């Protein structure tokens, strides 16, 4: 088992990475906990025993259920069970589960504790770490939510053995992002170390910028187009798949703006398409105008169209990107 600390002062918590670590869930509950509500989905291969009286509520499968209605159903289940402000919600599942469980915890009684047991690669390296919770609206992804740090996170590697190939690809999309943030060759590491290193990278960034006022936005590399693609395709394109495409598009946009050269664009293809074996072409039939409109609604868009882009000093945030450059990057990508 590998333990990674997310250092946030008096809200510091541990992330445990290893086989069978879901059995440690009781040790991560706050001492005040007298009962717990376990939030999960049908078919999740991990069961937990929090060590206190608990009830389980299952939420629907798929992005359509990442909604305010789902959060309401969790909070109503918590009320029926009699959870108090001193009790805890435990989210067991992938990123969708930990997002809705975390947002319900942030909202119920104006905030109760939450512990996450992540069961997907994407959740382990990204969604369950750092305290970002939220739900989708028809107008865009993750537009409603809260920053609400968990009391602890468990990344049980046993769950990965049951993941279908597409779920593993989704996790690799986020891993590829970390490659460009650090230059680490994550695929050369053993599985547990690779996942723990991703957690460590994210923990370091979150500790410096918990509420995404600056540096934390770097964790959204590739995500501006990715979120638009998810919405435009009705979530037929999964998050990690969309991030892979978004990373390559961001490279073309950086090249269009003169921030990087052709060799650096080639590096993105070498990592995302070759090393991580991910598809990087835009899906056919999408309307550029719709994608640009969706990107303009991105929650990072503080001053016009905003992107996280590679450059001579590494990856950073660039606001107010001209539409002509965005169109030019689409053209470059289509011509590749």
How would you list the strands of the sheet with 13-18, edge to edge?
A: 2-6, 13-18, 152-156, 113-118, 88-93, 36-40, 54-58
| Residue 236 and residue 125 in one domain | no
If asked whether residues 155 and 43 sit together in one domain, one would say yes
Q: How many distinct structural domains can be found in the chain?
A: 2
Residue identified by tokens 């805890």 is 88
Looking at the predicted structure, is the pLDDT value of residue 32 above 70? Answer: yes
CB–CB of 99/93 below 8 Å? no
17 assigned to some structural domain: yes
Tell me the DSSP string of 125-179.
IIITSSSEEEEEETTEEEEEEEE---SEEEEEGGGGGG--HHHHHHHHHHHHHHH
Residue 72 lies in a domain: yes
Answer with the one of 163, 191, 219 that is the final residue of a domain.
163
pLDDT of residue 30: 97
pLDDT in tens, 94-152: 999 999 999 999 999 999 999 999 999 999 999 999 999 999 999 888 999 999 999 99
What is the distance, to the nearest Å, from the Cα of residue 2 to the centroid of all Cα atoms in its chain? 21
Residues 65 and 135 in one domain: yes
Closest CA to 294 of 254, 333, 237, 336: 237
Evaluate whether residue 186 is within a structural domain.
no
Residues 159 and 277 in one domain: no
Residue at 305 is within a domain: yes
Nearest to 152 by CA among 109, 116, 111, 106: 116
The pTM assigned to this predicted structure is 0.88
Distance CA 114, CA 150 (A): 5
| 220 and 132 within one domain | no
- Domain harbouring 328, CATH code: 1.20.1090.10
Question: pLDDT confidence of 302, banded at 50, 70, 90?
Answer: low
Q: Print the domain residue range for 252.
A: 210-335
Considering the domain architecture, whether residues 105 and 238 belong to the same structural domain is answered as no
In-domain check, residue 52: yes
From 131, 163, 195, the end of a domain falls on 163
Model confidence band, residue 213 (pLDDT cutoffs 50, 70, 90) = confident
33, 150: one domain:
yes
Same domain, 225 and 130: no
Q: Catalytic site residues? A: 110, 132, 174, 202, 212, 216, 220, 223, 227, 239
Could you tell me if 10 and 134 lie in one domain? yes
Instruction: Please check whether residue 81 lies inside any domain of the structure.
Output: yes
Query: Confidence class of residue 299 from pLDDT cuts 50, 70 and 90?
Result: low
Looking at the fold, whether 140 and 248 belong to one and the same domain comes out as no
Determine the Cα–Cα distance for residues 140 and 143; give it in Å rounded to an integer. Answer: 6
Angle at 132 between CA 126 and CA 205, to 5 degrees: 60
Same domain, 8 and 138: yes
Do 247 and 224 touch, CB atoms closer than 8 A? no
pLDDT digits (tens, 9 = 90+) for 252-277: 999 999 999 999 999 999 999 999 99
The answer to whether residue 149 sits within a structural domain is yes
Q: Is residue 188 one of the residues assigned to a domain?
A: no
Same domain, 141 and 7: yes
Say which CATH number the domain at 67 has.
3.40.50.1970
The residue from 105, 133, 163 where one domain ends is 163
């Amino acid at each position: 088992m590998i333990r990674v600390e997310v250092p946030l002062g008096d809200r510091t918590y541990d992330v445990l990475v290893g086989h069978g670590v879901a059995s440690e869930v009781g040790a991560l509950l706050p001492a005040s906990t007298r009962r717990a509500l376990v939030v999960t989905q049908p078919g999740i291969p991990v069961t937990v025993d929090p060590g206190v009286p608990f009830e389980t509520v299952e939420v629907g499968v798929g992005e359509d259920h990442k909604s305010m209605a789902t959060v309401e159903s969790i909070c109503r289940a918590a009320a029926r069970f009699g959870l108090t402000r001193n009790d805890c919600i435990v989210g067991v599942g992938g990123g969708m589960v930990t997002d809705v469980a975390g947002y319900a915890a942030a909202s119920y009684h104006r905030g109760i504790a939450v512990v996450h047991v992540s069961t997907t690669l994407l959740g382990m390296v990204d969604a369950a770490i750092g305290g970002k919770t939220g739900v989708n609206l028809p107008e865009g992804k993750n537009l409603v939510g809260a920053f609400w740090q968990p009391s602890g996170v468990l990344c049980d590697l046993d769950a990965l053995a049951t993941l279908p190939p597409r779920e593993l690809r989704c996790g690799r999309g986020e891993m590829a992002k970390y490659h460009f943030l650090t230059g680490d060759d994550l695929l050369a590491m053993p599985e547990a170390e690779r996942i723990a290193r991703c957690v460590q990278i994210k923990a370091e960034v979150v500790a410096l910028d918990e509420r995404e006022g600056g540096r934390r936005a770097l964790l959204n590399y590739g995500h501006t187009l990715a979120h638009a693609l998810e919405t435009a395709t009705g979530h037929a394109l999964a998050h990690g798949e969309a991030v892979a495409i978004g990373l390559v598009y961001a490279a073309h946009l950086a090249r269009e703006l003169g921030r990087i050269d052709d060799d650096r664009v080639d590096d993105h293809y070498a990592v995302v398409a070759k090393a991580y074996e991910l598809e990087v072409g835009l899906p056919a039939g999408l309307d550029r105008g719709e994608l640009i409109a969706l990107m303009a609604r991105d929650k990072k868009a503080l001053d016009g169209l905003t992107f996280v882009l590679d450059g001579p000093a590494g990856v950073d945030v660039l606001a107010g990107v001209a539409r002509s450059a965005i169109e030019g990057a689409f053209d470059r990508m289509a011509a590749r």
